[in-house]
Amino acid sequence: MNAPDVVVCSAKGCRAPARHTLVWNNPKIHTPDREKTWTACDEHREPLSHHLSMRSFLRRVDPLPQDR
């Protein structure tokens, strides 16, 4: 990934730099090979992954690749 700007957290209203990637899939609307991602800062990794795992959407949490 080669984004020119810092990747920010996907949580609403949060502008912290993301440090994790939440990989998820909604079986009702996505084919199994489809992977959606959210980014999360340290603070929101927990609530966002909880939100997804409650719905059985969460597949895994990866560290966000850091440029530079």
| Contact set with Zn ion (CB under 5 A) | 9, 11, 14, 16, 41, 44
> To the nearest whole angstrom, how small is the minimum distance from the Cβ of residue 38 to Zn ion?
10
CA atoms of 12 and 67, how far apart (whole Å): 24
Tokens at residue 38, please?
């959210």
Of 30 and 50, which has the nearer Cβ to Zn ion?
Answer: 50
Name which of 12 and 28 has its Cβ closer to Zn ion. 12
d(CA 26, CA 65): 24
Element housing 17 (H / E): none
Nearer residue to Zn ion within complex by CB, 14 or 23: 14
